[in-house]
Amino acid sequence: MAIIGGYSSASLLGAAIILSVAALIIRRYFFHPLSKYPGPFWSAVSDVPVAASLLTGKNHIHLKQLHDKYGPVVRVAPNELSFCSPQAYEDIYGFRSYDEPMEKDPIWIGALMTMNGEVGISYAPRDVHARQRRAFSHPLSNSSIMQQEPLIQEHMHRLIARLGDLEAAGKPANFTDWYSFTSLDVISDLYVGTPFGCLTSGDGQQWLDALEKGMQCGVYEQVTRRLAGSHTWLQKKLYQFVVPTVYKQGKMTHFLKSKQKVMERIQDEQSDHKDFMYYILRNNEAKNLLTPTEILLNSATFIAAGGDTTAAALAAITYCLLTHPDTYETLKAEIRGRCKTQQDIVHDNIKGLPYLGAIIREGMRLHTPVVIGSLRQVPPHGQGALIDGNFVPAGVTVSIPQWTATHSELNWTRPYEFLPERWLHPEKFPGDRPQAAQPFSLGPRGCIGKNLSWMEMRLVLCHVLWAFDLELEGGRQGVWKWDPDGDVKHVKAYMMFQRPELWVRLKKVQR
């Protein structure tokens, strides 16, 4: 081993590494443009704390604790700030007339994938996103969704029939699964003209498992990008060896099953069934809005979003209702008072029910379906941005973690309590800032399926509560894990919660 001035080359190399790391830590903590923002020391100098919280499924808890300690803006990584105010929502995700919009940060990755360099609407850059959104604007418009109500109602009746079978047999129902089966059948029928058959066969678990594993894969991939950069040689190696194979397989299974359904529908291109593909294929022919690859990628996106987030909200809302008897009875009375027969349960008749709307809003606030924030990047070649009154330099990663925004005492009175009245009588909750709850996000990338989700939630809840009286199976494992101020904090979340079981005893209403 070489000796230089009495020191071995290994010793000199070790000293150089130590000095380099020390210099990096000093620069990031004392001289970085974000040094003025509050946050833990280790978060200021390393991505490891936030990466660890993502890997353990506790990112939502980690960020909530940081905001509780440091306030409405926190430095959560060397080049990343987390916000939780309503104004920050507008500044980060809203329309920015004075500057280019904030694109999704390169380290953000979801449950889906790219193909041949092309991406779906969720991860597309601004111009591509706008083009793809135009292609979907008609089939997902409110008027088009209303035209699809008869088809959606078929799945509502199928759900009630299956729940009726369980009630007749004296068996409880796991509403977590049944809501997921319903949402998957609805979105697949709307998108490709053929339901997956989850409600008829009762077998949609494989697809649900694939969706969950795909989301976990996306979170793990985000961790590799945080630690090794995006699309670097080291990042690709980390992805290869760090991300569990079962997660990669889940991601691929979801994509391939979605692709199969789309290809079957494309081969039946002469069909007059006016599902989403009917409009997409015709728009594609007329305006060349989507490439074949983009059609495939977006099928996986819409099936994942439409089949999982709405079901998550419904399960949470049902738990909240059944643990608040007075609220449950009030909603039952409102629904049954408006709908004398099952045929009265149509969207035009129920969309204006005030208590139903308040309960859905409060359920999605208390159990927001997506718990982590979508990462954005302040335009790297711009002049920086003003976010909630704070100047943020160009190139900085910013986000609003939804669990934090919807449970912070900075935004809500009694944030962990289920209080639908806050949406009906805001004057009684002067400390509330309702715009801090954005389950569908907002701005140019706000959820394009919002109208469909609202319709489905209203119809499902009205059909179920009109047909049955419900009671929680309290002794069942998993039920009490839904408590937002208790056991749910111990439930892992990878973008979305790994939803516990929700066992419910049904009693058919005699009329």
- 84 closest CA partner among 317, 366, 411: 411
Q: Considering only 27-31, 199-203, 282-286, which range has the smallest mean pLDDT?
A: 282-286
Q: Which domain holds residue 168?
A: 32-508
- Rounded Cα distance between 481 and 412, Å, is 23
pTM of the model: 0.93
Distance CA(219)–CA(225), nearest Å, equals 10
Helices within 229-275 (DSSP H only): 233-242, 245-267
Q: Which pLDDT value is given to residue 98?
A: 63
What's the confidence (pLDDT) of residue 1? 47
* Whole-angstrom distance, CA of residue 460 vs CA of residue 64: 32
Per mean pLDDT, which range of 17-26, 291-300, 339-348 is the poorest? 17-26
Q: Which residue has the higher pLDDT, 225 or 297?
A: 225
Strand, helix or coil for residue 406: helix
Q: Please compute Rg for the chain using Cα positions.
A: 24
pLDDT digits (tens, 9 = 90+) for 379-416: 998 889 999 999 999 999 999 999 999 999 999 999 99
**Distance separating alpha carbons of residues 63 and 52, to the nearest angstrom:** 12
Does 198 map to a domain?
A: yes
At a CB cut-off of 8 Å and minimum separation 6, what does 363 contact? 313, 316, 317, 320, 418
- The answer to whether residues 403 and 412 touch, using CB atoms and an 8 Å cutoff, is no
Q: What percent of the chain has pLDDT over 70?
A: 91
d(CA 243, CA 433): 39
Q: Is the dihedral of CA 38, 42, 47, 49 positive or negative?
A: negative
**Is-contact 277 264, C-beta < 8 A?**
no
Can you tell me the mean pLDDT for 110-127? 76
pLDDT tier for residue 286 given thresholds of 50, 70 and 90: very low
Query: Per-residue confidence at 7, pLDDT binned at 50, 70, 90?
Result: low
| Confidence tier at 359 by pLDDT (50, 70, 90) | very high
Residue 478 within a domain: yes
In a 3-state reduction of DSSP, which class is residue 81?
strand
pLDDT, greater one: 491 or 31? 31
pLDDT on residue 302:
85
DSSP state of 268: T
For 129-143, 166-180, 274-288, 415-429, which range has the lowest pLDDT when averaged over its residues? Answer: 274-288
Are the CB atoms for 356 and 350 separated by under 8 Å? Answer: yes
Residue pair 122/110 in contact by the 8 Å Cβ criterion? yes
CB 204 within 8 A of CB 215: no
Is position 422 within any domain? yes
Per-residue pLDDT band for 487 (boundaries 50, 70, 90) equals: low
**Per-residue pLDDT reduced to its tens digit, 414-460:** 999 999 999 999 999 999 999 999 999 998 888 989 999 999 999 99
Q: How many CB atoms lie within 10 A of CB 427?
A: 5
Residue 20 placed within a domain = no
Query: Can you tell me the mean pLDDT for 78-95?
Result: 96
**Within a domain: residue 1?**
no
Helices 292-322 + 175-192 axis angle, to 10: 150
Q: Which two tokens stand for residue 437?
A: 């709850």
pLDDT of residue 284: 60
Confidence label for 480 from pLDDT (cuts 50, 70 and 90)? low
- Which residue type does 236 have? K
What tens digit of pLDDT does each residue of 33-75 get? Answer: 999 999 999 999 999 999 999 999 999 999 999 999 999 999 9
* Helix/strand/coil for 284: helix
Residue 378 domain-assigned (yes or no): yes
Q: pLDDT tens across 226-273, in order?
A: 999 988 999 999 999 999 999 999 988 888 888 888 888 888 766 777
**3 DSSP assignment:** E
**57-66, 104-113, 197-206, 463-472: least confidently modelled range:** 104-113
The total domain count for the chain is 1
Contact call for residues 398 and 392 (beta carbons, < 8 A)? yes
CATH number of the domain at 167, please.
Answer: 1.10.630.10
Closest CA to 277 of 288, 256, 260, 263: 263
Contact 401, 64 (CB under 8 A): yes
Name all contacts of 119-122 with Cβ < 8 Å and 24+ positions apart. Answer: 119/294, 119/297, 120/294, 120/297, 120/298, 120/300, 120/301, 121/298, 121/301, 121/448, 122/301, 122/305
Tokens encoding 64: 């909530």
Tell whether 447 is in a known binding site: yes
Does residue 38 sit within a domain?
yes
Q: What does pLDDT average to over the chain?
A: 89
Q: In the prediction, which pLDDT does 422 show? A: 98
**Residue 8 included in any domain:** no
